[in-house]
Structure 1
Amino acid sequence: MTENAQLTKTKPILVLGATGKTGRRVAERLTARGLPVRAGSRTAPVPFDWEDQSTWGPALDGVGAAYISYFPDLGFPGAADAVGGFAKLAVSKGVQRLVLLSGRGEQQARISEEAVQETGAAVTVVRASWFNQNFSEDILLEPVLAGEIALPAGGSAEPFVDADDIADVAVAALTEDRHAGEVYELTGPRLLTFDDVAAEISRATGREVRYLPVTAEQYAAVLRENDLPAEYVELFTVILDGRNAHLTDGVQRALGREPRDFREFARDTAATGVWG
């Protein structure tokens, strides 16, 4: 066992966004392995807040590795400064392994990635496509329940990826030396348009859910009504322009297995009752 691998067994692993879609799953998996986990969130026993740098140091004290998930998005203004500053502080406190959640097709997110990679730590970048769970645990849950998913996505196709696959890759990178220096682009096993997604959810739930293409201006109005960042409009219109309409082998390279398909996700999610 190498020194880095040993650290993940003896020192806490800090999981930022520990109440979010991926962070929660990462923390659960690490805990199930009997590994020490420190939750990084505003409500944690040792609070962490991206907007309050005074919380960063205490959250990092004694930590051996960290999963970095930035809110609201790694490509938003100010993200690179925050993430880079946090990573430098982490290394100065002896953290040797960093796993960064990033987004596919986001050029601004690359600046944040570089800021972390330049720290000299053993860094793994996990670039994820749109999450399946965006339709069950996030902003798109209510539209699914209402039967209409309105987005400025046109007819573009996406290789939707499951948050469980992302978490599995992150945990592997946090606990195994062979992932240091890797950039994993994660996708699901096939491309789907949002019409396809609506059809899959309809099939799984037994009720009609449809996709409604809208303009960026129309979607901006929806975001304002829900007090969500206006930057999401630019993000959605950029990354949903077809640039990510191809599959990658990131899950296969990291885990040695195929990624989970959206149909399986939809079937299992419908069975929970969250979609009514």
Structure 2
Amino acid sequence: MTTLITGATGKTGQRVAHRLQTLDHDVRGVTRHSTPRFDWHDRTTWAGAVDGCESAYLTFQPDLGLPGADEIIGAFAAQAVAAGCTRLVLLSGRGEDGAQRAEQAMTASGAEWTILRSAFFMQNFTEGAFADELAAGSLTMVEHTVAEPFVDADDIAEVAVATLLDKGYVGRVLELTGPQLLTFEEAARAVGGPGVAYLSMPTEDYITVLTEAGLPAADAAGLAYLFEEVLDGRNAYVTQDVETVLGRAARSIDGLAGGEQS
């Protein structure tokens, strides 16, 4: 069985691919620069990606909650199922209305689906959106007061592999969190040290920060308002789904801060 991995160089995609390859499973990792090439926004690249695959781990860029993602996911899932790639595991977000529309579009495709609703990645502070700024000693974020159960990308990858290989997870929605609630300020200082300068600002000002950092205006606005939406308290709780699937506790941010990653 060949498994398609979209976003194969991303934080979870590369981890899922590595684990499957370690288990001697065939993997086809695709990106906009791979062969075959894959681009969510270029439907002519889809057929070559899914051809010969029976399962897929799907991550959408820049975010599943942004407008139009549901139409793209629905169209791709339908094409994948028609091509024989029927087992789909989708990485989604917690409490995102737009992401839930995309989930519904995928489940309507006839796929054997599993949905992984993830909290914010711990690795956003070391590999992702906040990494460069945090390395320079600061973090800027949308104004909010609630905490978030940051989850380790390695845990997500292990759960994704388990659900890809075990059909007992077909038709299930899993919520993946870390073991503790932390504010972004607390998380930033746990990873970057107590001297990290934390700055929160209104959403409109944060959009300006994102666009000045090079993000397209539409994506910057979409992400900023998405942060505002999901950081209103709706996700301020911990789940046990990582432990249920893996048989061990979810990793804490202390391990990431200490460099203990698998």
Displacement of 1:202 in angstroms is 4.2
Equivalent pair of 1:100/1:124 in contact (CA under 8 Å): yes
How much is the aligned-residue C-alpha RMSD, in angstroms?
1.4
CA distance in 2, matches of 1:242, 1:213: 16
The answer for the alignment partner of 1:259 in structure 2 is: 250
Question: Which of 213, 219, 223 in structure 2 is aligned with 1:232?
Answer: 223
Question: Which of 36, 39, 45 in structure 2 is aligned with 1:49?
Answer: 39
CA distance in 1, matches of 2:160, 2:117: 11
The answer for the alignment partner of 2:102 in structure 1 is: 112
In structure 2, the gaps of 5 or more residues are none
AA of the residue aligned to 1:259: A
TM-score w.r.t. length of structure 2: 0.94
CA distance in 1, matches of 2:70, 2:148: 26
Identical-residue share of aligned pairs (%): 46
Runs of 4 or more consecutive aligned structure 1 residues displaced over 4 Å after TM superposition: none
CA deviation profile, 1:191-226 (whole Å, cap 9, x unmatched)? 0012211331244xxx62132221112211111112
Equivalent pair of 1:126/1:186 in contact (CA under 8 Å): yes
CA distance in 2, matches of 1:94, 1:153: 45
How do residues 68-87 of structure 1 correspond to structure 2 at under 5 angstroms? Answer: 68-87=58-77
The answer for the alignment partner of 1:39 in structure 2 is: 29
CA distance in 2, matches of 1:247, 1:59: 36
Equivalent pair of 1:150/1:214 in contact (CA under 8 Å): yes
AA of the residue aligned to 2:175: E
What secondary structure sits across from 1:268 in the alignment?
A: coil
CA distance in 1, matches of 2:25, 2:192: 40
The count of corresponding residues between Structure 1 and Structure 2 is: 257
CA deviation profile, 1:162-200 (whole Å, cap 9, x unmatched)? 100110111111111111111000000000012211331
What secondary structure sits across from 2:250 in the alignment?
A: coil
The answer for the alignment partner of 1:218 in structure 2 is: 205
Q: 1:121 to 1:202 in 2, by over 3 A?
A: closer
Question: Which of 97, 105, 109 in structure 1 is aligned with 2:87?
Answer: 97
TM-score w.r.t. length of structure 1: 0.90
Judge which range, 247-256 or 182-191, deviates more.
247-256
Displacement of 1:59 in angstroms is 0.7
In structure 1, the gaps of 5 or more residues are 1-10, 272-276
Question: Which of 227, 234, 240 in structure 2 is aligned with 1:243?
Answer: 234
